[in-house]
Amino acid sequence: MRKKFIAGNWKMYKTTAEALRFAEAFKALRADPGADGRDVAICAPFTQLAALKGALAGTGVLLGAQNAHFSDEGAYTGEISPAMLAEIGVDCVIVGHSERREYFGETDADTNRKLHKLLERGMVPILCVGESLEIRERGGQGQAVERQLAEGLKGLSPAQAGGMVIAYEPIWAIGTGRTATPEQAGEMCGFIRRAVAALCGVDAAEGVRVLYGGSVKPGNAAEIMGMPDIDGALVGGASLVPEDFARIVGF
Size of the site for ligand PGA (CB under 6 A): 13
Phi, psi at residue 76, to the nearest 5°?
A: -130, 80
Which positions from 64 through 83 interact with ligand PGA, judged by CB under 6 A?
Answer: none
Q: Closest CB to ligand PGA belongs to which residue? A: 236
User: Annotated catalytic residue: which of 73, 120, 169, 223?
Assistant: 169
In the residue annotation, 120 being an active-site residue is answered as no
Residue 166 touches ligand PGA, criterion: CB under 6 A:
no
User: Annotated catalytic residue: which of 97, 99, 106, 131?
Assistant: 97
Are the CB atoms for 53 and 63 separated by under 8 Å?
A: yes
List the x/- string, 99-138, binding to ligand PGA by CB under 6 A. Answer: ----------------------------------------
Find the largest Cα–Cα distance for the chain: 48
In the complex, what is the shortest distance from the CB of residue 74 to ligand PGA, in angstroms, rounded to a whole number? 28
Residue 9 touches ligand PGA, criterion: CB under 6 A:
yes
In the residue annotation, 134 being an active-site residue is answered as no
Which position among 61, 119, 153, 234 is part of the footprint of ligand PGA (CB under 6 A)?
Answer: 234
CA angle 189, 193, 197 (to 5 degrees): 165
**Which of 163, 171, 159 shows the shortest CA–CA distance to 213?**
171
> Checking DSSP bridges between strand 209-213 and strand 4-9, what pairing results, if any?
unpaired
Which position among 45, 162, 186, 236 is part of the footprint of ligand PGA (CB under 6 A)?
Answer: 236
List the x/- string, 171-210, binding to ligand PGA by CB under 6 A. Answer: ---xx-----------------------------------
Residue 169 touches ligand PGA, criterion: CB under 6 A:
yes
In the complex, what is the shortest distance from the CB of residue 77 to ligand PGA, in angstroms, rounded to a whole number? 26
Terminal Cα-to-Cα distance of the chain (whole angstroms): 21
Residue 220 touches ligand PGA, criterion: CB under 6 A:
no
Are the CB atoms for 106 and 94 separated by under 8 Å?
A: no
- Residues at the site binding ligand PGA, with contacts judged by CB under 6 A: 9, 169, 174-175, 213-216, 234-238
